Amino acid sequence: MKTTATLDPDGTSFTMARGAWANSYPLTDLPKWIAFYRRQAKLHPGQSSYADDIEALEGLKRQADNRRANGQEVRRDEGAPYSPRFSGGLPDT
């Protein structure tokens, strides 16, 4: 199953999904999730799904960077209040 990572309409979060699983996270945490999945790939080299996760997250990072470079707003609300939809927790860094 292919992993997808999409910027949410609010511009402050993204959703990562694979099959029936999906979860949303603050956009400010994107670098932490990329680092987490890179570590997982090194620890478990036989798991090809980590490569899919990394590809999806890095693609989202490029998309957000391109939007910023083209003058399109990508909000990064550092002080956003807690939302239960961000239930995945932060990866260890």
Residue 24 identity: S
Residue 91 has pLDDT above 80, yes or no: no
pTM: 0.74
Surface-to-core class of residue 19, CB atoms within 10 Å of its CB (0-12 exposed, 13-18 middle, 19+ buried): exposed
Give the helix/strand (H/E) hosting 16.
Answer: strand 13-18
Residue 28 has pLDDT above 90, yes or no: yes
Residue 25 has pLDDT above 80, yes or no: yes
Q: Residue 38 — pLDDT band, cuts 50, 70, 90?
A: very high
**Spans of all domains in the chain:** 4-69
Residues 60, 47 contacting (CB under 8 angstroms): no
Residue 77 has pLDDT above 60, yes or no: no
